[in-house]
Structure 1
Amino acid sequence: MGPELLVGEVVMQAGDELDHGSVITWGWIFLAAYLILILGLGYIGYQRVEGGRNATSSQDEYATARGGFGFLALALAYAATVASGATFMSIPGMGYDMGFMAGYYALIYPIGVFIGAIIIARVSKKVSDRFNSQSVPDLIGDRFQSPGLRVITAVLSLFLIFYAMAQISAAGWMFEVILGVEYVVGIWVAGLLLLVYLAAGGSHADILTDAVQGAIMIGIAVLVMIMFVIGWGIDGGMSSVNAALESGQQWDQHTDSDNPYFTGWWAILLLMIAHIGFTAQPHLGNKFFAIKSNRYMRRFLLATSFVGIFLPVMYLGGILGAAQGIEVSDPDAIIPTLFVENLHPIMAAFLGIVILSAIISTSDGLVISISQIFANDLYRKSYVPWKGGDPESEAVQQRSLLISRVSTIFIVFVAVAAVITPPEYLVVFMWTGIGGIISSFGGPYLIGLLWRRATKHAAYAAIIVGFTVYFFIHLGPQFGVTEGVWPLNENPYASTGIGFIVSVVTTVVVSFFTEPPGDEHLEEVFSAEQRLIDDARYDTDTGAPGPASTSESDD
């Protein structure tokens, strides 16, 4: 999601009067309850994968949960995955540090994300069903009839491992704060929590747990908003909260020429543009494959947009903390500290588990997406055809499922081991994944699914040019390779917005000068027919099998 600023060295600043032992005790109780919950959901996911629902293979069920969920569960899961731990840590940290100005990020980034979802979700679902695509790189390869594009975008997607590393590092700090265990122990426990349900249940377990986590996130966001509106701890409500802030943090301050994130309105606009391409990230794009049918898509988009736009009101908690004069060693610590200093220890402990669930809600999707790079993009759809095999054969499907589960374990192990000592430039590496993906194949993904004329040569050009631009204006300066231009060298969001625009424009321009795919393939991609997903296999209300559906209409 957005600015996954590392939780870093999060240390609660509660006074000596706090019974921290009670927080730890209740934290373990809530963690045990959470573990029981995700074990149960993981088992349900395992049954769905092994049962081969919807006449699909077990591998497809593991990778996509294709057609397995109604609009509400998937809406909560998608919003939770977009939000992640940053919504509860980093965005409130921006509010604590910058005041109401941070609201432009908190309230605008989800608009960009869900504009992108509205544009791409329906057609992405149709094309992935038709070609049995199991990931965003796979979808791009199928759309452009290019195994090379599939491999290149899959390799670029491997950078998401750094995103997963950041999430696990954040979880480790929360374990130390809430449960009193050392950071190193915490990251291994976080990894184990992921493995207990992901290796068995795959995308089904991912979406089930994310849906529950999304519902919990809504409750916490409501609580924070109420605390802000009534001016908790400050007499006079919202106006008194504003008055208690420094002048540069108050709600009449919109931009700051010294702030690289909000240096001007152009930077705020680019922030939104960057997030339009957010759905190109594999752990988000593949969520669309799981909806039962496009007939549910409108309700899904409305529900997930509402939830996703509401959750970032968490930034108001950071503002309230600043108004109360709470001091923290790291701005990312403000929400845990706000709860610890204002609420009962039971609530503080519960918050810690909520934050862990928020972090895990992104981590699990990342791990599943990366596992499909190995199992599907590189093995099933690239290596097997290259060797003359049939990627749809039962033997290949079962082997892919095994690779999925083994690689899930391997990915979690690597991500945890890599942050035993958190790398100094982890945020930079993480945005190599986020910004690099959006700047490179964000254009081919968006334009290729909307425009018949888009060509594979244009997609290659967009990937190269878009990533190169992003590297020279942001990544290069971060690594000391190029000098860059302020504020782009300090602002990954504006830089990603520029890279995304370049990728889109390159895709369009080069397509006019290169040969498009054949009419037969284009008709297969863009025709009105689509692979039937039998909506009645699982009745929306009862979960029981229903009568077979013979047609599907789009709303």
Structure 2
Amino acid sequence: MPTTDAVVTYGWLFLAFYLVVIAGLGYWGWKRTGTQDDYATARGGFGFLALGFAYAATVASGSTFMGIPGMAYDMGFKAGYYALIYPIGAYLGIMLVARITKKVGDEAGSQSIPDFLGDRFKSPVIRLMASLVALFLLFYVMSQIVAAGWMFDTILGIDYTVGIWAAAGMLLLYLTLGGSHADIITDAVQGAIMVGITILIFAMFLTGWGFDGGVSAVNANLDAGQQWDTHTDSENPIFANWWVIFLLFVGHIGFTAQPHLGNKFFAIKGTQYMKKFFIVAAVAGMTLPLMFLGGVLGAAQGIEIADPDAIIPVLFIETLPAVFAAFLGVAILSAIISTADGLIISVAQIFANDLYRKTYVPWKGGDPSSPAVNQRALLISRVATVVVTIVAVAAVMTPPQYLSVFMWIGIGGIISAYSGPYFVGSLDESTSKKAAIIGFVAGFAVYAVIHLGPQMGLYDSIAGFSLFPYSENPYASSGIGFIVSCVSTYLGSKFTEPMAVEDRNEVFRGTTELSDGGRVESDD
């Protein structure tokens, strides 16, 4: 890596300042964390502006700042289909479910999306199934750790292996103390910085940084297959045809079903702030993917790197003064951390809340709301935070290729399983528990057959029919899983007994006043 001594020196100075800031925010969060619910959700603790930036930063992740530019470095402008389509799908998903998740989740005291699904359908079985599938988030955690490791390697001159452990130490510095309060406030600050960096990359691209002739010169210096008039490539599973590109959009509608995103809705002060929250999150979230243009610019400049995911920090080092390159590199590192922290909190809640407090304790005849159980769950949350972080680091000692693809191994499984119960169940309160289970199992099964099986090397075709590009394209596979899960849940609700009226009124208290379907929104 072309790291200079000046970049390393400035980088360490900026990192030291950043460590002081996050340690202080961790203490701030610790002072506001007295219960398991505080640690898991920071319920009602934030306004729309902070939470909007935090949500956008969490959606964007290390993939947006490293994985997608890395894809663009290798594939050129066609990677822009991923970068520009995914936020449209993701924020459409928010519009469909955020408000009802907030209302029902707060009423029931849900602490995660698996917990919300269990409360929504009054089903411990669905909660348990959703909790086990949510463990796929570990792939997402691992991808963020990898991205952080490359940033340490590129900007600070630390070997990748040491860098991933350093990233783990940074996360644990504030997460074990402050939980969701620390997670959200750090994400909000990082989200605002991320928007600024994206605007810089966009300006560099528009001016044709390093070229005479602006954007046209950038395009002219790309290989023919990378230029903006090349849209699909039959040999590239991600952009093989227009159908898989459309499925990329469909799959991302279910993106917000992920536990580390859905639980952010519990933290907003009230449903009256939902519209403003959505506007802030959507504007920031649709700006951030323009980072892919940095990968295009790096490819046009002929920058040579061993790992495509490192193109953005290398571009900074090679084209900007050392002090700016170091600052921007550490800022991107903080952005990566902003996603990893929420993910780790969510995985920790699988053990502390979903499996222990809401499953094991009732099974043993205990009271899940007792003070002793809540304090024990808080302890489990903090211990699980440490364990999950260490396991994630140990699993990526050898980094995978293309973070944006690797992390979707887990994301796709969650989307395919959750989408029917979450989306159909949120939009139609008569949806039955049996229908939700049908949709859950059907969606996950299809995703497992067309993507996970081939990825595990078990087969690459069924009955002589090739599974390409779905075997290599988690986005398209997730899109199919989303459709199957939603359709199966909807059809299942037509052939099973609808949820009892009294149960619906209990679950949707404050939103449902009708006795036979439909929804009436109460005043906020």
Structure 1: distance between partners of 2:305 and 2:159: 20
For the residue of structure 2 that corresponds to 1:490, the secondary structure is coil
Give runs of aligned pairs for residues 311-330 of structure 1, distance below 5 A.
Answer: 311-330=288-307
**Alignment match of 1:503 (pick from 485, 501, 506):** 485
For the residue of structure 1 that corresponds to 2:499, the secondary structure is coil
**Alignment match of 2:375 (pick from 398, 403, 406):** 398
Question: 2:436 — aligned with what?
Answer: 459
The reply to whether residue 260 of structure 1 matches residue 237 of structure 2 is yes
Structure 2: distance between partners of 1:417 and 1:60: 29
Give runs of aligned pairs for residues 435-514 of structure 1, distance below 5 A.
Answer: 435-484=412-461, 485-514=467-496
Deviation at 1:457, TM superposition (A): 1.1
Aligned residues: 510
Distance 1:300 1:231, change over 3 A: same
Cα-to-partner distance string for 1:506-533 (whole Å, 9 max, x where unaligned): 1011111112222111012234359xxx
Question: 2:55 — aligned with what?
Answer: 78
The reply to whether residue 191 of structure 1 matches residue 168 of structure 2 is yes
Q: Which amino acid aligns with 2:18?
A: Y
Cα-to-partner distance string for 1:273-313 (whole Å, 9 max, x where unaligned): 10000111100110111000010000000110010000011
Cα-to-partner distance string for 1:418-470 (whole Å, 9 max, x where unaligned): 22344799988743321111111221111111112211111222222111111
Give runs of aligned pairs for residues 37-116 of structure 1, distance below 5 A.
Answer: 37-50=21-34, 58-116=35-93
Deviation at 1:417, TM superposition (A): 2.4
Higher alpha-carbon deviation: 167-176 or 279-288: 167-176
Structure 2: distance between partners of 1:385 and 1:336: 50
The reply to whether residue 243 of structure 1 matches residue 225 of structure 2 is no
**Alignment match of 1:518 (pick from 480, 483, 500):** 500
% identical equivalent positions: 63
Question: 1:415 — aligned with what?
Answer: 392
For the residue of structure 2 that corresponds to 1:367, the secondary structure is helix
Structure 2: distance between partners of 1:375 and 1:517: 29
Cα-to-partner distance string for 1:344-374 (whole Å, 9 max, x where unaligned): 1112212221221121111101110011111
Structure 2: distance between partners of 1:242 and 1:389: 65
Distance 1:424 1:95, change over 3 A: closer
Question: 2:519 — aligned with what?
Answer: none
Length-normalised TM-score, structure 2? 0.94
Structure 2: distance between partners of 1:289 and 1:234: 48
Deviation at 1:250, TM superposition (A): 2.0
Structure 2: distance between partners of 1:499 and 1:125: 25
Q: Which amino acid aligns with 2:22?
A: I
Question: 2:516 — aligned with what?
Answer: none
Structure 2: distance between partners of 1:169 and 1:96: 18
Question: 1:337 — aligned with what?
Answer: 314
For the residue of structure 1 that corresponds to 2:217, the secondary structure is helix
Structure 2: distance between partners of 1:318 and 1:177: 16
Verify the 8 A CA contact 1:428 1:478 in the aligned structure 2.
no
Question: 1:540 — aligned with what?
Answer: none
CA RMSD of aligned residues (A): 1.8
Structure 2: distance between partners of 1:117 and 1:380: 28
Deviation at 1:406, TM superposition (A): 1.4
Question: 1:295 — aligned with what?
Answer: 272
For the residue of structure 2 that corresponds to 1:489, the secondary structure is coil
Distance 1:426 1:307, change over 3 A: closer
Structure 2: distance between partners of 1:415 and 1:127: 32
Cα-to-partner distance string for 1:172-220 (whole Å, 9 max, x where unaligned): 2221222222222212211111111101100000001101110110111
Distance 1:328 1:432, change over 3 A: closer
For the residue of structure 1 that corresponds to 2:450, the secondary structure is helix
Q: Which amino acid aligns with 2:224?
A: S
Q: Which amino acid aligns with 1:285?
A: G
Verify the 8 A CA contact 2:435 2:492 in the aligned structure 1.
yes
Verify the 8 A CA contact 1:159 1:430 in the aligned structure 2.
no
Verify the 8 A CA contact 1:428 1:475 in the aligned structure 2.
no
Deviation at 1:118, TM superposition (A): 0.9
Q: Which amino acid aligns with 1:76?
A: F
Structure 1 residue ranges without an equivalent (≥5): 1-11, 51-57, 531-551
Question: 1:178 — aligned with what?
Answer: 155
The reply to whether residue 232 of structure 1 matches residue 209 of structure 2 is yes
Cα-to-partner distance string for 1:472-502 (whole Å, 9 max, x where unaligned): 1111111111223111111110011001100
Q: Which amino acid aligns with 1:512?
A: K
Structure 2 residue ranges without an equivalent (≥5): 462-466, 513-521
Distance 1:171 1:249, change over 3 A: same
The reply to whether residue 222 of structure 1 matches residue 199 of structure 2 is yes
Verify the 8 A CA contact 2:151 2:313 in the aligned structure 1.
no
Q: Which amino acid aligns with 2:145?
A: I
